[in-house]
């Protein structure tokens, strides 16, 4: 009888265990390239886990960098042509990735974030470049795209959408920080996930480094050699965005047209601008956390390209010491590919027709099942 009970329990466990082999992609505002992750995502009895099998970042060539940077100014017709072309390019890159790592007949589905061109939640509009149908046609696999649109239609910010992954994969951390083109944060508060964009980050830092003839400020060495310009810091901290209540989100356009313009027009040396920008990010992260301060020592998981900027991390650590928050920078693979991994999870949840965008984060009328599904084959 005992053996039968064990067999019955094992059978139930097997029935409750689902494993999905997924490709997730992300093109962030830093424009480093197309991040691709192939992973297994497992759900067992309501608990979620993942394993990353293969990753790659496909760098954009100069032609695509130029298009991604300037397509916000295209005519409607030219933008739609670029949307289709970028989708075909992504499909080809993913197809090559599958061939390169011998993943044929192993991938269940693809989740594609695309590249954000317009983000205007106040007008219930967001647009990510990279036609999902084109990706599906080339890869012959199911593709889930347009991940933010349903939330936007429901009156939400459409951002951040990563907190669903942080809730299911990394709920041991009360605070999570992603330092990408835009710095965003997730906080576990009152049994809910709260998330919001904090401030511009790598996109602006990279533009400043470009002025010094460098693609980016490696390890924050240039920023470390600079000095704080107090007047510039005050001007940045005074921007209206920082007075807005959450939920709130930032567009790439704000980072370039408003934020970078202030720095670009300043007469202080580039190293001082970089130094001041890092202090500004650190102060805004600290300010954003103050309403959620805990009485005990806690930890914050830090990912995104900014996690490799030693000076920036040290500057944030210094600010957060007053709140008894310790920064945890994980292995490089997770730092680089966390967002692509979460896009894979969002795709799996959409496939299962389960909630994948949280209204507690975005302020939408309700949590939603977001994403358009394109079937690559009959």
Q: Which of 147-161, 221-235, 244-258, 286-300 has the lowest mean pLDDT?
A: 244-258
Calculate the average pLDDT of the chain: 93
Q: How deeply is 17 buried, as exposed, middle or buried, from its count of CB atoms within 10 A (0-12, 13-18, 19+)? A: exposed
Interior angle at CA 129, CA 61 and CA 75, nearest 5: 95
Q: What is the pLDDT of residue 328?
A: 97
**Residue pLDDT, tens place only, 77-111:** 999 999 999 999 999 999 999 999 999 999 999 99
Q: Which residue has the tokens 């994980």?
A: 330
Question: Is 0.95 topped by the overall pTM?
Answer: no
Indicate the DSSP class of residue 245. P
- Quickly list H helices, 129-201: 132-139, 149-153, 163-169
Q: How deeply is 110 buried, as exposed, middle or buried, from its count of CB atoms within 10 A (0-12, 13-18, 19+)? A: buried
Q: Give me the domains of the chain, ranges plus CATH numbers.
A: 18-155+338-374 (3.30.420.40), 163-334 (3.30.420.40)
CA distance 209 to 206: 5
**Residue pLDDT, tens place only, 113-137:** 999 999 999 999 999 999 999 999 9
How far from chain centre, in Å, is Cα 106?
A: 26
Interior angle at CA 207, CA 203 and CA 209, nearest 5: 115
Reported as half-sphere exposure (CB side, CA atoms, 13 A), residue 18 has a value of 14
CA distance 286 to 170: 21
Reported as half-sphere exposure (CB side, CA atoms, 13 A), residue 316 has a value of 31
**Residue pLDDT, tens place only, 5-34:** 543 444 444 557 899 999 999 997 777 899
Q: Is the dihedral of CA 252, 254, 255, 260 positive or negative?
A: positive
- Confidence class of residue 378 from pLDDT cuts 50, 70 and 90? low
Q: What is the pLDDT of residue 30?
A: 72
φ, ψ for residue 230 (rounded to 5)?
-65, -40
Q: Give the pairing type, strands 17-27 and 143-145.
A: unpaired
Q: Which residue has the tokens 């400020």?
A: 217
């Amino acid at each position: 009888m005992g053996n039968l009970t064990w067999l019955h329990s094992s059978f139930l466990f097997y029935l409750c265990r689902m494993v999905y082999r997924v490709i997730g992609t992300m093109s962030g505002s830093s424009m480093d390239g197309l991040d691709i992750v192939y992973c297994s995502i497992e759900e067992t009895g309501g608990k979620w886990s993942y394993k990353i099998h293969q990753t790659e970042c496909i760098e954009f060539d100069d032609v695509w960098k130029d298009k991604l940077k300037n397509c916000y100014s295209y005519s409607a017709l030219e933008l739609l042509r670029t949307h289709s072309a970028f989708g075909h390019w992504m499909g080809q890159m993913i197809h090559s990735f599958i061939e390169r790592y011998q993943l044929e007949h192993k991938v269940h589905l693809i989740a594609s974030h695309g590249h954000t061109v317009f983000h205007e939640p106040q007008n219930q509009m967001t647009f990510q470049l990279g036609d999902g149908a084109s990706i599906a046609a080339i890869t012959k696999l199911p593709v889930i795209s347009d991940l933010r649109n349903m939330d936007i239609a429901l009156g939400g910010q459409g951002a951040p959408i990563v907190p669903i992954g942080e809730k299911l994969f990394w709920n041991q951390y009360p605070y999570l920080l992603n330092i990408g083109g835009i710095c965003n944060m997730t906080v576990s508060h009152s049994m809910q996930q709260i998330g919001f964009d904090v401030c511009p980050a790598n996109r602006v830092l990279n533009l400043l480094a470009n002025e010094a003839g460098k693609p980016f400020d490696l390890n924050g060495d240039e920023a470390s050699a600079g000095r704080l310009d107090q007047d510039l810091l005050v001007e940045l901290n005074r921007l209206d965005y920082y007075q807005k209540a959450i939920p709130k989100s930032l567009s790439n356009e704000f980072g370039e047209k408003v934020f970078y313009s202030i720095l670009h027009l300043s007469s202080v040396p580039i190293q001082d601008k970089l130094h001041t920008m890092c202090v500004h990010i650190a102060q805004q992260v600290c300010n954003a956390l103050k309403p959620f301060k805990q009485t005990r020592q806690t930890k914050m998981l830090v990912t995104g390209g900014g996690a490799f900027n030693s000076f920036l991390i040290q500057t944030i650590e210094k600010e957060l010491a007053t709140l008894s928050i310790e920064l945890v920078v994980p292995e490089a693979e997770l730092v680089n590919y966390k967002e692509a991994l979460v896009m894979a999870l969002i795709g799996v949840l959409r496939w299962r027709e389960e909630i994948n965008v949280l209204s507690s984060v975005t302020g939408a009328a309700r949590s939603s099942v977001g994403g358009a599904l394109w079937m690559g084959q009959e």
